[in-house]
Amino acid sequence: MKTIFKISIISLGILISCQEKPTITQEIVKPAPTSSKKIVDLSHVFSEETIYWVTAKEFELDTVFKGDTGKGFYYSANNFTTAEHGGTHIDAPIHFSKGKQSVDEIPLEKLIGNGIKIDVSSKALNNPDYLISIEDFTNWEEKHQQEIPEGSIVLLETGHSKYYPDKLKYLGTDQRGDDAVKLLHFPGLDPKAAEWLVKNRNIKSIGLDTPSIDYGQSEFFKSHVILLSENIPAFENLNNLDKLPTNNFEVVALPMKIKGGSGGPLRIIALLNNFKFFQ
């Protein structure tokens, strides 16, 4: 009985082994189309051309070493200095609201989520002082037959990123210093619209493709105060918003984690849904 049992096990193993080996007549199955996400970079590069507020320290890159070491390998290292607020960056709530979150305290849930885009470029490109209005938000809702979804990251496209890094066209002036502040001209969010968002919609964060969430001629930065007082971070100097649909995408906005920072450089991307490719 033991001998017969052993032979049966061996025979079964041989049978399974033979079945597992593919024959030359077996059909090769091609991989099926797979859903994935197209990545859109919404950040401007940091360099000597990076645009900063006219009173802020601009970006500087200092080369420590660049070249062959004499030990058989290449080596490159730099130091950089910069203000928190310049180029593609984040405004943390503490920037305009005492006691609110610093950049390292912002929950990641505020910086990652489903996005919508509101395109006002047809109005703002012809008016550098354009104020994005409540009507711009309600028009989006009417077009999409829904309210701005709860927990959305709202991106505002004015079209002005096309002028970056030309300071005269993008900022309204190429001068620097305190006297240049009154010469700033670029679109921003109407404080009335900021107040409407805070009171009537529940958004995670907001961003736009100009130097400030308040327009260039603002003196009291009311949109900043309204939004940041509610711990709603703002992203400024965004890029490539024209490459986004009006909805059905995700946003990942990760700033430099500066302890106690009022803001910092931001690498922000969008992930477009329903993008098809073959593996």
CATH number at residue 192: 3.50.30.50
**Contact residues for 179 (Cβ-Cβ < 8 A; gap 6+):** none
Range of the domain at 269: 34-44+84-277
Would residue 269 count as lying in a domain?
yes
In a domain, 72, yes or no: no
Per-10-residue mean pLDDT of the chain, 279 residues long, equals 43 45 46 69 98 97 97 97 98 98 98 98 97 98 98 98 98 98 98 98 98 98 98 98 97 98 98 61
**Residue 223 within a domain:** yes
Domain annotation covers residue 22? no
pTM of the model: 0.85
Provide the number of structural domains found in the chain.
1
Buried/exposed code over 207-223 (b: 16+ C-beta within 10 A; e: otherwise): bbbbbbbbbbbbeebbb
Tell whether 25 is covered by a domain. Answer: no
Q: Are 170 and 160 in contact (CB under 8 A)?
A: yes
